[in-house]
């Protein structure tokens, strides 16, 4: 478990005040959204592009929820 997860109680960084999705690698929500907009489709893509999720791995579920949410947003834009 990473030092950051100890500080946040191991909650997976979902409620991080600094806006980090991945505290171990200091990856922000904006960086994740930008990577998804640029074509990232899986957590592995986010890991390759940003390094997100390569530390304690506590954030991987949160990264997955970002991928689902932003894919849905893209689909809704295409459908409208």
Binding site for ligand FES (CB under 6 A): 2, 4-5, 13, 22-25, 53-59
d(CA 30, CA 66): 11
Q: Which is nearer to ligand FES, 24 or 35 (CB)?
A: 24
Residue 49 beta carbon to ligand FES: minimum distance, rounded to whole angstroms:
14
Q: Which is nearer to ligand FES, 7 or 74 (CB)?
A: 7
Taking CA atoms, 76 is separated from 37, 38, 39, 65, 68, in Å, by 14, 17, 17, 17, 12
What is the number of residues in the chain?
Answer: 80
Residue 27 beta carbon to ligand FES: minimum distance, rounded to whole angstroms:
7
């Amino acid at each position: 478990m990473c030092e950051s997860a100890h500080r946040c109680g191991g909650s997976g960084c979902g409620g991080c005040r600094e806006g980090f999705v991945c505290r171990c690698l200091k990856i922000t929500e904006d960086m994740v959204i930008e990577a998804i907009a640029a074509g990232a489709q899986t957590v592995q893509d986010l890991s390759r592009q940003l390094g997100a999720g390569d530390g304690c791995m506590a954030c991987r579920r949160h990264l997955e929820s970002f991928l689902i949410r932003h894919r849905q947003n893209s689909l809704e834009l295409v459908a409208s």
